[in-house]
Amino acid sequence: MTSTLTILEPCPGVYAYYDGRVAGARLHSPAPNWLDDGAYELGVASYAIVDGGEALVYDTHISLDHARAIRRHLEDLGVTAIRVVLSHWHKDHIAGNAVFADCEIVALQLTAEKLDENREKIETATPPIHPLVIPNRLFAKSLTLSVGKRLVELHHFAIHSADGNVIWLPEERLLLAGDTLEDTTTYISEADQTATHIAELTRLRQWPIAKILPAHGDRERIAAGGYGPDLIDANRRYIERLIEAIAAGAEIGTLKDFVADEIAAGAILYFAPYEAVHQSNVERVRAALGAR
């Protein structure tokens, strides 16, 4: 299951466990399933922040095997204390929770509620996530933690999902974004909340961010230290442009054409499988706006 997993160190003491974007490869099955057709095809990374014998794991990846690989790597580094933080409730971020069941698992109250509401669907999904391990430490808006001597802040941003939780390392000006930001474009999972997403992206853009590490992005750019804050602008403009085009009844072409300016500027990189995400976004926003 982890034959294509790579471990990167985009920043000192920050590790990315990256898998996917491997042409022709599937991990679970040739048949449609959430693991291959979502996370793995688009590329997915979980992260760990390490200092001394302590580590904070940001999301538990797409399978128990991936989670075991993360834990094994950390233990090989000499880590003896692990805490987990969840970015949100979607399956490709919580599938390995059981491997860390003996650890503190921190999440927004909203995330715990979503997991509890969707437990049956998650545990019977293809592939199943069973048993689903629920977070055991909850917070509402923000929380400050430490990893060794490193200061780590958790902040709620309702982007992509109502329970979006980002990690901010203020001393490094580094943002671990989860699914609040993506490259090539955001996946609009809650199309009736796009106004909130735009406002929250605008709020995020006010932070003094130097680098961004998203859950879904380009392996090489993550390995090189991450994205610039213009990734926030690219994701926000995409949603704004999409709403305007659909409201005006304009024809919407390919993603490559739709975000050509941002690609040319280098804010994002074109990755063809995101065309399917774009088409899904178009359909969801049209339905939300009552457009044809």
Instruction: Note the pLDDT of residue 170.
Output: 97
Cα separation, 210 vs 51, whole angstroms: 21
Q: Give the domain 6-289 fold.
A: Metallo-beta-lactamase; Chain A (3.60.15)
pTM for the whole structure: 0.97
Domain residue spans of the chain = 6-289
Cα separation, 23 vs 262, whole angstroms: 24
Which one-letter amino acid corresponds to residue 105? I
Which residue do the tokens 């090989």 mark?
A: 76
Q: Express each pLDDT in 210-265 by its tens digit.
A: 999 999 999 999 999 999 999 999 999 999 999 999 999 999 999 999 999 999 99
Residue 73 has pLDDT above 80, yes or no: yes
Sheet of 137-139: strand order equals 6-11, 14-19, 44-51, 54-58, 81-85, 104-108, 137-139
Instruction: Note the pLDDT of residue 292.
Output: 56
The alpha carbon torsion through 21, 22, 25, 26 (nearest 10 deg) reads -30
Cα separation, 179 vs 186, whole angstroms: 8
Q: Express as a percent the part of the chain with pLDDT over 70.
A: 99
Instruction: Note the pLDDT of residue 120.
Output: 98
Q: Express each pLDDT in 132-191 by its tens digit.
A: 999 999 999 999 999 999 999 999 999 999 999 999 999 999 999 999 999 999 999 999
pLDDT band at 202 (very low <50, low <70, confident <90, very high): very high
